Amino acid sequence: MVKELQLRVNLIEERKEDILKKKASKKLEINIASITAIKVLRKSIDARKKDVIFNYKVAVYINEPLPETPDYVFDYKDVSNAKEIHIIGFGPAGMYAALRCIELGYKPIVLERGKNVQDRRRDLRAINQFHDVNEDSNYCFGEGGAGTYSDGKLYTRSLKRGDVRRIFENLVYHGATEQILIDAHPHIGTNKLPKIIKNIRENILKYGGEVHFDSRVTDFIIKNNKLQAIQLQNGTEMTVNSVILATGHSARDIYELLHKKDILLKAKSFAMGVRVEHPQEIIDQIQYSCTGQRDELLPAAAYSLVHQVNNRGVYSFCMCPGGFIVPAATANGEVVVNGMSPSRRNNKFANSGIVVEINVDKDLPKYEKFGVLKGLQYQKDLEKLAFNAGGRTQVAPAQRLTDFVEGRFSHSLNETSYQPGLNSSPIHSLLPKLIGSRLRKGFTAFGKKMHGYYTQEANIIGVESRTSSPVNIPRKDNLEHPQIAGLFPCGEGGGYAGGIISAAMDGERCAEAAIANL
Ligand code: FAD
């Protein structure tokens, strides 16, 4: 017999051997010897009260052996000679689109502007050490897309958009640990992601798909409103039938190309702000109500904050406990920050984007002349402003949190994880009021919600500008562009995802739609 149970375990109990068995036998009023095994189905931590509680959902096997761990099998087919689907971009959306094509018996041909995950590392080093941004290979572009050198947080709110569990199982199939199927807030870590991504690529190749690196798509050949061919930067032209456009929200050249060709786009609301960095110990102490270091059984603490200021949300975004702030620019002449963390989340800093909602219809009157690309232009301008304020390299402008809120220049800054370095700048007077004044009110409110958060030991670093796409590439119910037959806008770049998992799910859906179109 198998019974499912919810069990609560405190920190002292968590250290005890067989604690789940003991608790289960007590709760079920059965002899402990009759419990053959316990399988953890879900684990979460509740730190709202001083006594931290681990909440477990378990399956209790009574007089019955634990079945072998299921192999997560995906029915991939040999597609070497199958009909082709072209996929532009090899981020989560493109990777999962390619895998789904193979499952359904179609051959994915992937075109990726960046390099493979190994070679990409060299270009990241060049950004961090020499401030040199390769416009095809950086923290956003290259194998695995923007999700590769990230936190690998696998949280998504878009539960309706597809089968989240299926995406997780597929990650396990390609080498992620089964822990991601259990944790309430699963994450993989930037040190583990590259191997998984390499396994995905090798699997695609093994079944007859194609993945071409250094293959930036630079033009679409359209006749009678039907996509006929795509052109690469090396001049190659490829005849196409169905194309999944999964180029992410940093591929500004793609938006500009579509706009130039009069292909329908829409301006989309988005969010921008700064990244805040605290010593992890401060966040641990607030969240776990402890003094000194957190208990070794507890993970680096995270937080999630939101506050309404003058009808706009100010909220934390992509919080990285025990992580690093990274330079996420995709071109020279701009400074963009983002966050990532290793699987153990053992760095001494906690960072998070703190961003303000930008309503594209109301907030950017001076940008109306840019039409549907107004949000994009606004992003560009702030990234340029950050570049100039940092000193015209990848050094980022920064200010102590309290100085920012109270409108003072910082004569010194706190230590940081941001490798290119920081330059003290009066960010309070540089940011547009729309963002700056809301951020200042937001930080004050956050300090009241989390005592100790509002501290001079934190820096704010600018700018956090690539939260989501400022442009939407429309699509019909069948996921095809309303004007251009054969074009399937996909993932974050189209405005249909906001993170690794939702992008992956959209990739699968677009593959199904593109195949249905053949
Ligand atoms: P992308 O991942 O952006 O992939 C697009 C791909 O298209 C890129 O590989 C790019 O090189 C390629 N491309 C672009 N233009 C062209 C072209 N013209 N021709 C050919 N190829 C092209 N999300 C989470 O859920 N959890 C996290 O912890 C997390 N952390 C992040 C940390 C960082 C530093 C960054 C930058 C992002 C993070 N994100 C995180 C966001 C997440 O990475 C994205 O939401 C996700 O990758 C979007 O997937 P996508 O496939 O739609 O686009």
Mean pLDDT of the chain: 96
pLDDT digits (tens, 9 = 90+) for 392-408: 999 999 999 999 999 99
- Ligand 1 centroid–CA 491 distance in Å is 9
Return the bridge partners of 40, or none. 58
- Ligand 1 centroid–CA 118 distance in Å is 17
Three-state SS at 510: helix
Q: State whether the beta carbon of 146 lies less than 6 angstroms from ligand 1.
A: yes
Closest CA to 86 of 67, 65, 107, 109: 109
Choosing from 120, 215, 236, 500 the residue with most ligand 1 atoms within 8 A of its CB, the one to mutate for a pocket test is 500
Contact criterion met (CB below 8 Å) for 416 and 348: no
Closest CA to 149 of 79, 91, 99: 91
Every domain of the chain and the residues it spans: 2-62, 84-266+472-517, 269-464
pLDDT at 505 > cutoff 70: yes
- Ligand 1 centroid–CA 141 distance in Å is 7
Q: Which residue has the tokens 């963002």?
A: 435
Which parts of 418-478 fold into alpha helices (H)? Answer: 427-430, 433-449
- Ligand 1 centroid–CA 88 distance in Å is 12
Q: State whether the beta carbon of 140 lies less than 6 angstroms from ligand 1.
A: yes
CA 438 to chain centre: 24
Q: How far apart (Å, rounded) are the C-alpha atoms in residues 345 and 323? A: 6
Region 354-367: mean pLDDT is 97
Hey, what's the torsion of the CAs at 480, 483, 484, 486, to 10 degrees? 30
Q: Which residue has the tokens 């990848």?
A: 394
Which parts of 212-303 fold into alpha helices (H)? Answer: 252-260, 280-288
Q: What's the pTM?
A: 0.96
Give the helix/strand (H/E) hosting 55: strand 53-62
Candidate from 147-156, 277-286, 363-372 with smallest mean pLDDT: 147-156
Q: State whether the beta carbon of 151 lies less than 6 angstroms from ligand 1.
A: yes
CATH number of 2-62: 3.30.70.2700
Tokens of 78: 């040999």
This complex has an ipTM of 0.99
* Predicted local distance difference test score (pLDDT) of residue 163: 81
pLDDT at 70 > cutoff 90: no
Please give the residue that has the higher pLDDT: either 258 or 162: 258
pLDDT digits (tens, 9 = 90+) for 166-177: 999 999 999 999
* Predicted local distance difference test score (pLDDT) of residue 160: 56
* Residue 74: DSSP 8-state: -
Q: What are phi and psi of 371, to 5 degrees?
A: 55, -135
Q: How many helices (H) and strands (E) does the chain have?
A: 14, 22
Contact criterion met (CB below 8 Å) for 65 and 28: no
Q: Which fold has domain 84-266+472-517?
A: FAD/NAD(P)-binding domain (3.50.50)
Three-state SS at 57: strand
Closest CA to 500 of 178, 175, 248: 248
* Predicted local distance difference test score (pLDDT) of residue 320: 96
Q: How far apart (Å, rounded) are the C-alpha atoms in residues 2 and 296? A: 32
* Predicted local distance difference test score (pLDDT) of residue 498: 92
Q: How far apart (Å, rounded) are the C-alpha atoms in residues 195 and 53? A: 33
Collect all residues with Cβ–Cβ distance below 8 Å to 29 and sequence separation of at least 6: none
Q: How far apart (Å, rounded) are the C-alpha atoms in residues 118 and 198? A: 9
Collect all residues with Cβ–Cβ distance below 8 Å to 53 and sequence separation of at least 6: 8, 9, 10, 45, 46
